[in-house]
Structure 1
Amino acid sequence: MTRLGTSFWIVLLLHAGDCSEENINGCDMNPCMNGGVCENQDGQYKCHCSQMSYNGHLYGGPYCTVILLGCERHWCQNGATCYPYLDKGRHRYSCICPEGCTGTKCQTSTAFSFEESGFMQVQTKLTNAFEPLNVTLSFRTLQAAATLLQCHVEDQFLMLELVDGRVRHTLQRAQDTESVFLELPPMVSDGHWHTVKASLRNNMLGLSLTDPSCLEDTCRMEVQIDRAEPDLGSGLSELTVIQNLYIGGRGENETASGFLGCMRDVWLDSLIVVPGLGLRSPAKQLNVKQGCSDWDRCKENPCQNRGRCVKTGWRSFSCECHRPYEGEHCLDEYVAARFGSEDLESYAVFTVEDDPGDSNTVSMFVRTRRSQGLLLVLSNTTSQYLRVWLEDGMVKVQINNFESLLGSETVSDGHFHLITVLVEPESLSLFMSAKSQGRIPIRSVLVQAGDAVYVGGLPDRRASLAFGGYFKGCIQDLRINSRRLQFYPVSVPASSYRLQSLMKVTRGCTGDDSCTNNPCLHGGVCYSMWDDFTCSCPPNTAGQRCEEVRWCELSPCPSSAVCQAHTQGFEFQLYN
């Protein structure tokens, strides 16, 4: 063999050796099986096994040839995805949690709901006071205005809130007269889940929203902040700077901005906040419940005294109360005023403080056993233009001393009755518990500021006697339109005309003790009722006061005579 030929074979053998090394150590021989992807690493190779099922199985191992069995009896919860893997030859698994869950088995819900005045407080120590906020959270609500999160570090306030249904991130410092804020345009007060991220890092105030309908330029904003370093005070280090975070509100003393809805996956930096769990579990919490459910509070029947519950939003409601009840749960009852207690002449005077308009409604609850009595008078400086009184146990209304309307139902039965007088520009209507008692045409009257309202009688005794005398009974929840005329204030704030005087009127609706003078005759026993009495009569007597003696039932006549009863006694007639 010539020298040239020898050199050719040496070069050829060396080249073949290089190719052989690449085939052994590299990916040219496709060593990764079952969909695995081979990666060259400095002449070596590594198989990245497919995360997708291949031939009905997941594979692992150096060559992706080992069927992974870790998930055959897994304990992942709440719909989590099980991921099997090999660890030093042992089959294991991990759980990939869905949104709203955490824990090694995804066993813990990260969702929690806020009820009225609810909040969570988290307090941490910062290692860098210049980057106080990096938070990600998901929320759902129907509120257009609420506080999602407030962060306080030294003199810095960072607020994440809803304003007019949009997310806003605000930075405010004590020495600054104006705040800096970012606001994203999408409406998020729709009851669906939305994920928001707010931060203050590297002097950049950032805000972003994760939403399928979002465009990148509309759901992500940043602004440069020029700010001096916070004054940490003498002797303080950055390690001692305290960060206070309020989630869902601004603390116990702030209720107007409270968040009503649900949150989940609340992350502060790399730590999650769940009520009662974790290093950043709340230091304080109020009206916060784990889990998220738009529970219809009306199913709990929160409205008392026949009030109607109306759902008004996320876990919120309002009560439409029946008169004379008011308040959030219809528990506050307007205090009744007692007129004519122990037959005293009593009355009250109010002053109208506005101009109600052309149409006016006067309404009140009335309880009495008297068939006569003056209920109400509206007067100005020249005349009494509206009078309401009882006549033969029925309600009578008079306008301008001329037009009159008499009701058809008796109210003097000792029960409460709702009386409503509707005065319109050309007509007068009377109602008893919403049942019409009649309607007549009238000349118009006008209620004006400064007019007086007399209730139960007039200061002039003779003028009161002309309309049945002073009223004896109770009046409750008196109103002119929506303005109350409160004899005694209640805990629920209500718009009321000013009370000028209260003459011998007592609080409540206690009746007189009618048994004081022992009205029952012939040994009858008296039992007191409200402003009335009843007698338990002995045998052979009858009547309301046991005044009727059934003499003949006492067999006063001899056996040979017949007893005949008379109004004043009896007589007997002998047989022939």
Structure 2
Amino acid sequence: MLGCIENTCENGSTCLPWCDGETHGHTCLCPPGFYDDVCSTPTTFSFSSPRFFLFEVPALERRRRDTKHGHLLEVRLRFRTTLPDMLLFFRGNAETFLSLEIVGGELRTRLVSGVGGTLEARLPGVVSDGEWREVVAGIDEESTKVVLEVKGPSCLNKACKVENKFPDDREPFSKHLTKVYVGGVPEEYLKFTLSGRGFLGCMEDLQVDGRQVLPQDLGDGDESVEIGCKKTEWCEVDPQPCSQHGQCVDLWTSYRCDCYRPHHGHECSQGQHSHTA
């Protein structure tokens, strides 16, 4: 097939040729962080300070079933962070919501309904190690399941997946889940979360109910999105910031030194033994 000769695929994407009769063409398979027909649109954005973005789901999108993944209502994204307690997204309102959080370094999703109670799915294993992970949290309204699925180094690049069943005697969730808060929530909603704080880190390839959400879809005139993954690798600089007398802990926007005794100070540079005559 000739479809990939002089193809227009960008940013290291893979060209997949196809042939339809006498017509030759190609499809660009985008790597993580890029989108569109030629993979030219970046999807990566950063949270370097507490903030959140509100994305509202059109009614038509809520009704359209994602046949590829099997969930009627789902949020899919990739993320990386070094912090163990943060909210990735909150979908819904104070009465009924679906949330995805990092709690104690583990992923946890909760479906809370005023009439149906609470259903929780958690995925063992630390995800706050600075590596990229792909995650999807969703609800299948037909079978009333909440699903949490994650990909990454701890899964050896295979999907790790957990499911929980929700009681059948409840009203449809979709009418409550029209608002998706990305990276945090308004102050009055924090009490409904387990982590109690917004996200610091990077996200990319955000999809809501099968619809791609680009960074420019999130910001407004007063709150712009930080395009790209902006991160200082605090603990990988030379010389090591803890004076080789402590363990460097990456806090994403800064670092902390856990000093070995008897050393102390911000960079463990104090407390050296002195020798006197």
TM-score normalized by the length of structure 2 = 0.70
- Asked if residue 314 in structure 1 is aligned to residue 243 in structure 2, the reply is no
| C-alpha distance in 2 between matches for 1:156 and 1:96 | 37
Instruction: Identify unmatched segments of 5+ residues in structure 2.
Output: 65-70, 191-195, 235-247, 257-277
Q: Which residue of 1 aligns with 2:206?
A: 266
1:93 CA displacement:
2.5
1:312 CA displacement:
5.2
Question: Structure 1 residue aligned with 2:91, among 151, 165, 190?
Answer: 151
Kindly provide the CA deviation profile for residues 280-325 of structure 1, in whole angstroms up to 9, marking residues without a partner as x. Answer: x33758463111131479xxxxxxxxxxxx995223469xxxxxxx
Q: Which has the higher contact order (CA 8 A, sep 6+)?
A: 2
Q: Which residue of 1 aligns with 2:136?
A: 197
| C-alpha distance in 1 between matches for 2:156 and 2:133 | 14
- Asked if residue 187 in structure 1 is aligned to residue 126 in structure 2, the reply is yes
- Looking at CA atoms only, which structure, 1 or 2, has the larger radius of gyration? 1
DSSP 3-state at the match of 1:72: coil
Q: Which residue of 2 aligns with 1:208?
A: 149
DSSP 3-state at the match of 1:266: strand
Letter in 2 for 1:146: M
Letter in 2 for 1:182: A
1:175 CA displacement:
4.7
- Asked if residue 174 in structure 1 is aligned to residue 114 in structure 2, the reply is yes
Q: Which residue of 1 aligns with 2:164?
A: 223
The question of whether the paired residues in 2 share the 8 Å contact of 1:136 and 1:198 is answered with: yes
The question of whether the paired residues in 2 share the 8 Å contact of 1:169 and 1:198 is answered with: yes
Question: Structure 1 residue aligned with 2:37, among 104, 109, 119?
Answer: 104
Change (3 A) 1:229 1:128: farther
Q: Which residue of 1 aligns with 2:78?
A: 138
DSSP 3-state at the match of 1:213: helix
DSSP 3-state at the match of 2:37: coil
| C-alpha distance in 2 between matches for 1:140 and 1:109 | 16
Please give the root-mean-square deviation of Cα atoms over the aligned residues, in Å. 3.5
The 5 A counterparts of 1:222-301 are: 222-230=163-171, 243-251=178-186, 257-276=197-216, 281-282=217-218, 286=223, 288-295=225-232
Change (3 A) 1:200 1:90: closer
TM-score normalized by the length of structure 1 = 0.35
Kindly provide the CA deviation profile for residues 394-414 of structure 1, in whole angstroms up to 9, marking residues without a partner as x. Answer: xxxxxxxxxxxxxxxxxxxxx
Change (3 A) 1:87 1:132: closer
The question of whether the paired residues in 2 share the 8 Å contact of 1:121 and 1:251 is answered with: no
| C-alpha distance in 2 between matches for 1:229 and 1:250 | 26
Instruction: Identify unmatched segments of 5+ residues in structure 1.
Output: 1-59, 61-67, 233-237, 298-309, 319-576
1:183 CA displacement:
1.0
The 5 A counterparts of 1:475-494 are: none
Kindly provide the CA deviation profile for residues 57-98 of structure 1, in whole angstroms up to 9, marking residues without a partner as x. Answer: xxx3xxxxxxx2x33322211101122334452443221111
The question of whether the paired residues in 1 share the 8 Å contact of 2:151 and 2:157 is answered with: no
Percentage of matched positions with identical amino acids = 32
Count the aligned residue pairs. 228
Which has the larger strand fraction?
1
The question of whether the paired residues in 2 share the 8 Å contact of 1:132 and 1:200 is answered with: yes
The question of whether the paired residues in 1 share the 8 Å contact of 2:87 and 2:199 is answered with: yes
DSSP 3-state at the match of 2:215: coil
The 5 A counterparts of 1:359-370 are: none
| C-alpha distance in 2 between matches for 1:217 and 1:102 | 23
DSSP 3-state at the match of 2:52: strand
